[in-house]
Amino acid sequence: MPSIRRSLLACLAAAASAALVPAAAQAQSYPAKPIRLVVPFTVGGVTDASARLAADLMGKRLGQPINVENRPGASGNIGTAGVAAADPDGYTLLLGFDGTMVINPNVFKSVPFDTLKDFASIGKIGDAKLILVAANTLKADTLKEVIELSKKEANGLSYGTSGVGSTPHLAGSMLNIRSGSNLVHIAYKGGGQAMIDLQAGSIPLVWTAVAGALPLIQSGRIKPIAIPAAERASSLPSIPTFIENGLKDFVIDSWVGLLAPLKTPRPIIDRLNAVLNEVLNDADAKARLDKMGITPMAGTPEQFHASMKRDLERYAEVVKAARIQAD
């Protein structure tokens, strides 16, 4: 019997070693052909631009091009689901966006993918700070004044965003929940028209990305109120955070990152993560991302996965409390 047991264990060990060889060999030669990076949105905008920057600089380091493929539709759900169903061979990657990966699962009745179970995390590219901005005609210059004014107004104060279930929408809802403010959401089809209306004084407040608001703030056409981040934005060092205004732990960023289909070999994930971190630590890449309003966030696949899990949980609470639902 002992000899049979030893033989069985030896066979199992040999089988396990044999199973590891293909993955290791594949990772050693990876990549042997061009890689496809799916962006589940249209061409243009910060999300697409960050994907193209990462693809360009990572491709040069990997020795194979990373070709960006835009597959928009259903608020990013279509392109995202397509990657979830792709072969897990490292040649199809996804540009993950907080709106798609951690907000859509909470605001849509159903989505055709599971953020935590259908994807292998590669790493976060970076965080994009949001900002609450106001029309120059608004008789409030600080966050505390905005909150107090909203409580005094019978119909509250309106704030515009890029759409229902967007990160700015959740930020406004969080502010109501955390401060008792009476802010009323106005959903636009994209943030451009909201900013036009803000400059005209047709709407008193808008939640948007710092990068998009910066030129209008610098030219004096709108005024900044506060930033819901852990620290002030380098491009607006005089503008306080929500935390500085007394709202403890009030941090909500938009983010972008890279993912692959589940079961993509770990050696390939590690290779992609290492190259991504090289890019994020490059001075030129940092400067280019900074112009987009993105703070590079080098880290491990596990850290990225954990941050998505946290966001899914905390946004679920906000969506439920605010009764947010996308069409």
- Mean pLDDT, the chain, whole residue set: 91
User: Is 21's pLDDT higher than 90?
Assistant: no
Average pLDDT over residues 29-33: 96
| pTM recorded for the entire structure | 0.84
- Per-residue DSSP letters for 84-125? HTS-SSSSEEEEEEHIIIIIHHHHSS--SS-TTTSEEEEEEE
Q: Would the pLDDT of 12 be above 60? A: no
Domains parsed from the chain with CATH numbers = 33-128+253-322 (3.40.190.150), 130-226 (3.40.190.10)
The model's pLDDT over 199-224, given as tens digits with 9 standing for 90+, comes to: 999 999 999 999 889 999 999 999 99
Q: Which residues pair with 187 in a beta bridge?
A: 161
Task: For residue 25, name the pLDDT band (cuts at 50, 70, 90).
Answer: low
CA distance to 42, 169, 180, 185, 208, per residue, from 144 (Å): 37, 19, 11, 19, 19
Lowest mean pLDDT segment, chosen from 178-182, 188-192, 194-198, 236-240: 188-192
User: Based on the number of CB atoms within 10 Å of its own CB, is 19 exposed (0-12), middle (13-18) or buried (19 or more)?
Assistant: exposed
- Asked if the model's pLDDT at residue 9 lies above 60, the reply is no
What pLDDT sits at residue 26?
A: 60
Per-residue pLDDT tens over the stretch 109-138: 999 999 999 999 999 999 999 999 999 999
Res. 22 pLDDT band, cuts 50 70 90:
low
- pLDDT at residue 276 greater than cutoff 70: yes
